[in-house]
């Protein structure tokens, strides 16, 4: 049995990863937030973890623990905080308090998670002060890890500080990356798999309208739990677009909308709430019953000729309503969204774009030509797209929480967003726990099991275990 204390546990992302990685883990979480503790227990009691409402600043450390871990509030060191920073911030005392508990309980190891702002010139001395306190008893290493490099569909950089008690003679280290922007082979002969993208994570959810799914389709494809979002009006969208394009007020232009073809930006209160430049905005095609296919699938369908009729050059075509998958599948497909078309058109010259325009629904098609397998501009169907913010369920997916994760009935949508944004990515926590468990000689639970994670991108996230032989 491995006894773990999770300080400032939030709703339990770090605890979830460790519970699924270490055999016989017994975890106690402490957090001052009632909603955080309720959500923690609502989901993690089944895995041998429990949390209590407790202000860590007032808690008297007691008990024996093998691991003390946690993420003290990041606001004092956040790069987004431009006002009260460091010692001046009211939450700063929680940071040295973490090390107070470590020194009093003397666990075999400790793991601290926080924002990378702790390593800036402004705050680095605050971290070094605390590391000097534990240096006589602990061998310490720290590193900034990007969750996208470990199979999480999110570019989330966080500082991790790992300390192992010196008398155990174990050397602390961090797990090597498993994913990269492009699939590559390392110098040692290893393989880094391609990043898990937003499309991989929430592509199925983008086809479901939050909170307003047609009743006649509920039985076939019900709304997933917590697939709800705060409204984002056209005026909000327009403001976000203008701010992203305004290079006079910001260092660089941000893409609009956010790309579906790479990991998301960091999920936090700054990016999933509000109506500012940083708010993540995803494109959603306006259609009922159809699906949006990725460009590679479009190319495959068009090259096979399935569901397509070759039109005579001097005759109008029938109205293009979509492309079917053959006689066994008559569900309509819309080939690409307006956003995807804009991404695709960058491949072609201006001459080609003027000569060949995308097909439009409700109008005769241009000639279907033999070279459509190369997906030229006129092999695409441009559809009208709207934009919205991420739903709570989509944020959970991008943070790598399993689809069985849910919230107690009394938790408001504002608190759901906040709890998800403050959590540690469970998949990254799992990889840390497995690596630490091997260092310490503990029994680890690997390979990960799909029925425990219940994520549509499970095999892509854990491609290092399954070799990419499976698809989701």
Instruction: Quote the pLDDT of residue 212.
Output: 44
Cβ atoms of 50 and 41 closer than 8 Å: yes
DSSP 126: H
Instruction: Quote the pLDDT of residue 380.
Output: 55
Euclidean distance between CA atoms 330 and 221, whole angstroms: 17
Instruction: Quote the pLDDT of residue 467.
Output: 81
The distance from CA 401 to its chain's CA centroid, rounded to whole angstroms, is 9
The enclosing H or E element of 159 equals: strand 157-165
Q: Encoding tokens for residue 344?
A: 């695709």
Cβ atoms of 154 and 425 closer than 8 Å: yes
Instruction: Quote the pLDDT of residue 115.
Output: 93
Tally Cβ neighbours within 10 Å of residue 185: 9
Higher pLDDT, 276 or 223: 276
Region for residue 352 given its phi and psi (left: phi exceeds 0; alpha: psi -120 to 50; beta: otherwise): alpha
For residue 92, pLDDT over 70 is answered with yes
The mean pLDDT of 216-235, rounded to a whole number, is: 70
Instruction: Quote the pLDDT of residue 378.
Output: 54
Dump pLDDT digits (tens) for 94-125.
999 999 999 999 999 999 999 999 999 989 99
Dump pLDDT digits (tens) for 262-298.
999 999 988 888 888 889 998 876 433 344 445 455 4
Dump pLDDT digits (tens) for 401-452.
999 999 999 999 999 999 999 999 999 999 999 999 999 999 999 999 999 9
Q: Encoding tokens for residue 19?
A: 């519970």
- Domains (range + CATH), the chain: 2-193+394-466 (3.40.50.150), 202-389 (no CATH)
Instruction: Quote the pLDDT of residue 429.
Output: 98
- My answer on whether omega of the bond before 447 falls inside 30° of 0, hence cis, is yes
The mean pLDDT of 188-200, rounded to a whole number, is: 91
- In 324-384, the DSSP E strands lie at 333-334, 336-337, 359-360, 381-383
Instruction: Quote the pLDDT of residue 368.
Output: 54
Burial class (CB in 10 A: 0-12, 13-18, 19+), 291: middle
Higher pLDDT, 344 or 236: 236
Q: Encoding tokens for residue 169?
A: 């003679």
Strand-pair category, 184-185 with 191-194: antiparallel
- Which residues carry out catalysis? 74
Dump pLDDT digits (tens) for 290-326.
444 454 554 554 454 433 333 333 333 333 333 333 3
Euclidean distance between CA atoms 432 and 426, whole angstroms: 10
Residue showing tokens 């107690």: 408
Dump pLDDT digits (tens) for 40-83.
999 999 999 999 999 999 999 999 999 999 999 888 888 766 67
Cβ atoms of 20 and 47 closer than 8 Å: yes
Question: Closest Cα to residue 116, out of 79, 165, 85?
Answer: 79
Instruction: Quote the pLDDT of residue 370.
Output: 54
């Amino acid at each position: 049995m491995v006894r773990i204390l999770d300080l400032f546990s939030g709703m339990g992302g770090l605890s979830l990863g460790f519970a699924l990685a270490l055999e016989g883990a017994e975890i106690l979480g402490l957090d001052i937030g009632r909603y955080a503790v309720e959500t923690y227990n609502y989901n993690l009691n089944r895995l041998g973890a429990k949390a209590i409402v407790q202000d860590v600043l007032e808690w008297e450390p007691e008990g024996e623990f093998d691991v003390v871990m946690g993420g003290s509030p990041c606001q004092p060191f956040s790069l987004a905080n431009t006002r009260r920073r460091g010692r001046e911030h009211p939450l700063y005392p929680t940071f040295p308090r973490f090390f107070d508990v470590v020194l009093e309980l003397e666990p075999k190891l400790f793991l601290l998670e926080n924002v990378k702002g702790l390593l800036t010139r402004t705050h680095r001395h605050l971290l070094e002060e605390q590391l000097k306190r534990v240096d006589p008893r602990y061998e310490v290493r720290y590193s900034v890890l990007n969750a996208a490099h470990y199979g999480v569909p999110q570019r989330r950089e966080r500082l991790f500080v790992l300390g192992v008690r010196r008398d155990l003679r174990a050397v602390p280290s961090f797990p090597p990356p498993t994913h990269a922007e492009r699939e590559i082979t390392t110098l040692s002969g290893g393989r880094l798999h391609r990043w898990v993208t937003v499309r991989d994570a929430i592509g199925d959810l983008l086809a479901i309208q939050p909170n307003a799914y047609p009743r006649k389709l509920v039985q076939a494809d019900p709304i997933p739990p917590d697939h709800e979002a705060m409204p984002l009006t056209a005026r909000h969208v327009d403001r976000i677009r203008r701010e992203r394009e305004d290079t006079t007020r910001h260092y660089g232009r941000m893409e609009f909308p956010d790309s579906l073809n790479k990991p998301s930006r960091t999920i936090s209160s700054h990016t999933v709430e509000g109506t500012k430049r940083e708010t993540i905005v995803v494109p959603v095609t306006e259609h009922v019953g159809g699906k949006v296919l990725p460009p590679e699938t479009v190319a495959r369908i068009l090259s096979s000729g399935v569901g397509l009729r070759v039109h005579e050059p001097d005759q109008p075509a029938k109205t293009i309503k979509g492309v079917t998958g053959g006689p066994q599948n008559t569900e309509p497909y819309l080939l690409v969204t307006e956003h995807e078309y804009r991404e695709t058109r960058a491949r072609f010259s201006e001459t080609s774009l003027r000569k060949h325009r995308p097909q439009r629904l409700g109008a005769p098609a241009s000639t279907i030509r033999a070279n459509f397998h190369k997906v030229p501009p006129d092999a695409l169907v441009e559809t009208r797209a709207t934009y919205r913010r991420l739903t709570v369920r989509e944020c959970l997916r991008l943070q790598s929480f399993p689809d069985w994760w849910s919230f107690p009935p009394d938790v408001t949508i504002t608190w759901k967003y906040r709890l998800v944004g403050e959590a540690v990515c469970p998949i990254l926590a799992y990889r840390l726990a497995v690596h630490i468990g091997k260092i310490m000689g503990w029994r680890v639970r690997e390979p990960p099991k799909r029925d425990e994670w219940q994520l549509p991108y499970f095999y892509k996230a854990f491609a290092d275990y399954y070799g990419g032989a499976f698809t989701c």
